[in-house]
A and B are shown apart, each in its own frame.
Chain A
Amino acid sequence: MLKPRLIPVLLLKNGILVRSKTFSLHQHTGDPLGQVERYTSWKADELIYLDINRDDIHDFRQTMSVIGTTSSRRNMPATMTNDIIAIIRSISEKCRIPLTVGGKIRTIEDIRIRLANGADKVSINTQALLDPLFIEEGARAFGNQCIVVCVDVKRHENGAYEVYRRFGKEPTGLSAAAWCTEAERRGAGEILLQSIDRDGMGEGYDLALIREVSQSVAIPVIALGGVGRFEHFVEGLRAGASAVAAANIFHFSEQSIIKAKRSMRNAGIDMRL
């Protein structure tokens, strides 16, 4: 039987990994390459790297002061460049599980160069909202399985779920279910469904959001945002997600993914171990 997937999400900012809270606070956690082998050996089912760099200019002394302590000398060149393509290439050389890369993908060429450097899928977000035909063009050129549409959602007080773009800053007026249905119709292979309000809070997924979206589409939904305890993964799957993703919970503890999977197995879910 198909196993539900557990997916660590790694946020890259200026060439280093960060943790995030409600899309705003970013704390450094290390270099992007060191985690690949560790997460693979801990039985991560996939890896998602999201480049959340917002400024094109960056002082590298800050980056170096962080990676200088966490990265081996051999890994330096890729991380030093702040070149997302070089980083993807280095990660993919070590990555024996599926690799999704997202962030600042605006053209077919942006997709092509990421795939050519070892990504298996790309996650697109704002550009798909600005130009929904981009989903169709990407799916036609590279296959639906390559195109993950990432959807950032905020819950309003009246319970309505609205899609936001540009790192969760700009409301779109679209409901989560309506946009995900459109993304599916235009050729998305998966939906990466992210709750802005839950990001980094550790209080669990927005289960009503997962339920609403996974009932509206027939493609797999990956839930993201809010996991603070392993039980939250189980809740996300029971709400209808095909895969459960998280970032912060995996960062600071040894064997975190294996431990999460064991706990999910104990809850009766058939995880790959």
Chain B
Amino acid sequence: MPVSVAVIDSGIGNLTSVHNALRRFAVPVAVTKDPSAIAAASHLILPGVGSFGEGMKELGERGLLPILCEEVLIQKKQILGICLGMQLFATEGFEHGHHRGLGFIAGTVRKIETSASGLRLPHIGWNNVRVSDRHPLSRGLANEPIFYFVHSYCFVPEDRGIIAGACDYGEEIVAMVQRGNICGVQFHPEKSDADGMRIFENFLDFPSC
């Protein structure tokens, strides 16, 4: 299957920024909420900003939950979640109440703990990420690449082995995860200059099924 990208239009992302970044790569890109277009693409990207509950609600209202589960869990299609998009992969989230997530990666999403550090929230700006060389998502990145973050909540996966990158903000923040065909980044690669473009490059290099 030749590489083509569907950026899933969940109505909650900075979709244009993601689309602009992907246009630098010579692959077809569609921003879409159409299940047949999602099924036809080789690589899926789930962007997202906003809150966990709203994000799940938008996916549900657009009828995207069955197609996402089918393509990701059964077809094993490559997917990259960005920011809230990654957080939605979790089992559950605790932003403004308790919400069920997509459940692609066991774990929870909770507020960044700043009571000890006294740091400001949101965590906004450029932060160094320590990458694990065991995960292909971090291939070719310098020892400590630097990425742009904007978030107040963080993903805590049950299996620490899937953590492909982490940064510090009063506590350790999971910045990158990879489990099989499922990748996620807490930062915004579309807004992280050259290091961010490398994330997309790596992701698009993953073989399509």
Interface residues of A (CB under 8 A from B): 1-5, 40, 45, 92-93, 95-99, 115-118, 120, 142-146, 189-190, 218-220, 242-243, 272
The stretch among B98-106, B176-184, B189-197 that forms the contact with chain A is: B189-197
Return chain B residues, CB-CB under 8 Å to A96.
21, 190-194, 196-197
Query: Which residues of B sit under 8 angstroms from A95, Cβ to Cβ?
Result: 20
B185 on the interface (CB 8 Å rule)?
A: no
Complex contact B120–A144 (CB within 8 A): no
Contact of A3 with B126 at beta-carbon distance under 8 Å, contacts A96-B196, A218-B121 already known: yes
Q: Are B168 and A145 in contact (CB under 8 A)?
A: no
With a cutoff of 8 Å between Cβ atoms, the chain B residues found around residue A120 in the complex are 14, 17, 188, 191
A97 touching B148, Cβ below 8 Å: yes
> Besides the contacts A3-B126, A96-B21, what 10 more A-B pairs have beta carbons closer than 8 Å?
A1-B127, A5-B124, A45-B148, A93-B23, A96-B194, A98-B150, A116-B15, A142-B50, A190-B124, A272-B126
A116: B residues at CB distance < 8 A: 15-16
- List B contacts of A40 (CB < 8 A): 193
- Out of A5, A93, A142, A218, name the residue touching B120 (CB < 8 Å): A218
Chain B residues with Cβ under 8 A from A115's Cβ? 14, 16
Specify which of B17, B123, B194 is in contact with A118 (CB 8 Å cutoff): B17
Q: Tell which of A3, A189, A220 touches B146, judged by Cβ atoms closer than 8 Å.
A: A3
- Cβ distance A2 to chain B, nearest Cβ, rounded Å: 5
What's the minimum C-beta distance from A114 to chain B, rounded to whole angstroms?
10
| Bound-state Cα–Cα, A95 to B192, Å | 10
Minimum CB distance partner of A94 in chain B: B20
In the assembled complex, which residues on chain B have CB atoms less than 8 Å from the CB atom of A144?
Answer: 122, 152
Nearest CB of A to B22, in Å = 12
- Pull 10 A–B residue pairs with CB atoms less than 8 Å apart, ordered by A: A2-B125, A3-B125, A92-B17, A96-B191, A96-B194, A118-B14, A120-B14, A142-B49, A189-B122, A220-B122
Are A3 and B49 in touch, CB under 8 angstroms? no
B contact set with A: CB distance below 8 Å: 12, 14-17, 20-21, 23, 49-51, 119-128, 146, 148-152, 168-169, 188, 190-194, 196-197
Contacts of A218 in B (CB 8 A): 120-121
Q: Which residues of A contact B49 (CB under 8 A)?
A: 142-143, 145-146
Please determine whether A243 and B125 come into contact, CB atoms closer than 8 angstroms: yes
Inside 8 A of B151's CB, which chain A residues have their CB? 145
Q: Which residues of A contact B148 (CB under 8 A)?
A: 45, 97-98
Residues of B within 8 A of A142 (CB): 49-50
CA distance A219 to B114 in the complex (A): 12
Query: Which chain A residues lie closer than 8 Å to B168 at the CB level?
Result: 1
**Closest chain B CB from A43 CB (angstroms):** 8
Whether A143 pairs with B127 at a CB distance below 8 angstroms is no
A218 to B124, CA, bound (A): 12
B16:A2 contact, CB within 8 angstroms: no
In the assembled complex, which residues on chain B have CB atoms less than 8 Å from the CB atom of A118? 14, 16-17, 20
Contact B120 A92 (CB under 8 A): no
By the criterion CB–CB under 8 Å, are B127 and A3 in contact? yes
Q: Chain B residues with Cβ under 8 A from A93's Cβ?
A: 20, 23
> A2-B123, A220-B124 are known contacts. Are A143 and B191 too (CB-CB below 8 A)?
no
Max chain A CB contacts within 10 Å: which of B149, B150, B168, B169? B150
